[in-house]
Chain A
Amino acid sequence: MRRPLIFDITKASFDDGPGIRTVVFFKGCPLRCVWCHNPESIDPDHELFFDSSLCIHCGNHAVGKTCFTLARRDVGNVYTVDELMEIILQDKIYYKSSSGGVTFSGGEPTLYMDYMSELCRRLKDEGVHTALQTCGYFDYKRFRDLLLPYIDLIYFDIKIIDETEHIRFTGKSNKIILENFQRLMYEDLHEGVCVIPRVPLVERITATEDNLSGIASFFHTHHIRECEFLPYNPSGIDKWERLGKTRPEGIPEKALSFQTQKKWVDFYKNRYADFAASASDL
């Protein structure tokens, strides 16, 4: 079984699903979205963050030695399933009080089907609600057999509807993603699992009239009424430098303003309503 690296575990999150949640961030992603706000999540291998402003040149620079100033931070740690279980279960009392649970994010958690499968099975045994945030780029059969039985909630990203554009901005075709999404919705949606499609809003990339129209049409065709929008968050911008990497060109430096965000959501809703209206005309 491939043992994944995990680059962060945050607790008491209000933003990543129902109730209070622990969020586990896996390292490694099949896509290369240019707007990615967790650049450290892309490469599946161990990396280092280095913040030169903190460094006091103490000589502890070698890997394996502790950096006292936290100038150098490991990105990516190995956890056995047991270890991760222990950390997740520390907050069980909060999951219970809030109907919360754990959310797997990344990176792409489905890169580690076997690991995830065991982890989620054991979490279900403990009665912990499990949520998955996925880009949808995975081996469907393995997903269905190994993971789906133990997942309560899936946040499924539909980022760009046009294949060429998708390739341009994420490095991969969206064919598998859209296929997976349809198979999930039509073949395997069982009681007890909930799928929430999510659309990132990045100006000039995903937040365009063409793309949002296309997504509205796609969702309407597949009877998807609800979806969530993820406004672009530039908080990851300075992480590129600390990783020692060059930041991709053309990514916005500012967060989406509330007004612009509303403008695009309204645009999407209007388009969706248009499709619904024209459908009922038929």
Chain B
Amino acid sequence: MSYTYKKSKINIFRIIWDRMLRKVRETFIAQMDSNKMDKLLELGLKAMSLLFLLCPEYRENIKGFKGKVAFNTVDGQLGATASFGRFLHLPVLRVRKTAVSNANVTITFSDGQAMASFITEPSPDIISGILDNKLNFTGNMNYILRFVFLAMDIPEVLGIRTRLPDIR
């Protein structure tokens, strides 16, 4: 993707992103026991949402995109929704704290841990998740593909070009 950022801008994003990731990881570790993984998910989605707001090139990815991707766990304990739409004429991502019922696709994780590992995976692999019985989905699979692309585009946007190590 041809992103052209001014260097200073990149630095700012990088710092924000690094902080965010650190926060995410800290929260993740802190919450392993409390079994409240939705904070983590919410945080991740919010970071994404913020990036859409701050970065016009990243925003280009969701121009004209209307759709909802919902996340939850089998036991129904955790949930969130990424809702793509428009605010005035700007494409935005709204984050909801529950899994809405009218999403285009709902990804259901076997448990909080499966959700956490999916979210923190550098290249989340939906098919492996399905095969390992870690996740399930109802609805349109292509919305997941698009969502995963958006997640994987973040390092690109931030200029972190190096490919993260493969975890198999």
Q: Do chains A and B touch in the complex (CB under 8 A)?
A: no
Interface residues, chain A, with chain B CB atoms under 8 Å away: none
Interface residues, chain B, with chain A CB atoms under 8 Å away: none
